[in-house]
Amino acid sequence: MFRLILIVASFVHECLRRSAPSNILLNRLRTRRGLKWGGPAMLVGAGYFALAYLCTTLIANGAPGWLNLIVLLGTYNGFRFALMGPVSLARLIAVRFREHRASRLAAADPAASPPTARRTTVTSTKRRTPCVSRRRAFFSVEQVIARS
């Protein structure tokens, strides 16, 4: 039962992460190109807070109770966007510092490559196949061949 709940929760989380407009916008703000938009994103948070306030006022004047869900959603998203502004600006400062340091090192030593160009692919010489037995997690290719 717990496994089913976990599977359903992860499915719902993935669907909301991909399709909810606020999540899409926050995912774009977390990219390198989006970090500079952290300040204006705080204004989107102010809009969510205004929506929550408007719905609270409507509820106080006799509107249906389901608007409380809109209040909850607006408050939650407002705080997310309000916090994303300073976080993205701090991340932008850190990224620009790393880029500046890399360009200084490249200017000092032209033979050195920037850190992003030094990516290496690590390949393993031993291939592992999933085991049939539950006693061991994996077998190497040599062990599988030896057992055949």
123 falls within a domain: no
**What integer pLDDT is reported at residue 19 of this predicted model?**
86
32 falls within a domain: yes
135 falls within a domain: no
pLDDT category of residue 75 using cuts at 50, 70 and 90: very high
| Domain total of the chain | 1
pLDDT in tens, 79-136: 999 999 999 999 999 999 999 998 888 888 766 655 555 444 444 444 444 444 444 4
Whether the predicted pLDDT of 46 surpasses 80: yes
User: Rounded to 5 degrees, what are φ and ψ at 33?
Assistant: -70, -25
Angle at 42 between CA 99 and CA 89, to 5 degrees: 15
Residue 143 burial class via C-beta count within 10 angstroms: exposed 0-12, middle 13-18, buried 19 and up: middle
130 falls within a domain: no
Whether the predicted pLDDT of 66 surpasses 90: yes
pLDDT in tens, 1-34: 888 898 889 988 888 888 888 889 998 999 989 8
134 falls within a domain: no
Q: Which domain holds residue 19?
A: 2-116
61 falls within a domain: yes
CB 140 within 8 A of CB 126: yes
144 falls within a domain: no
pLDDT category of residue 64 using cuts at 50, 70 and 90: very high
Residue 53 burial class via C-beta count within 10 angstroms: exposed 0-12, middle 13-18, buried 19 and up: middle
Per-residue b or e along 120-133, where b marks 16 or more CB atoms closer than 10 Å to that residue's CB = eeeeeeeeeeeeee
**What integer pLDDT is reported at residue 3 of this predicted model?**
87
42 falls within a domain: yes
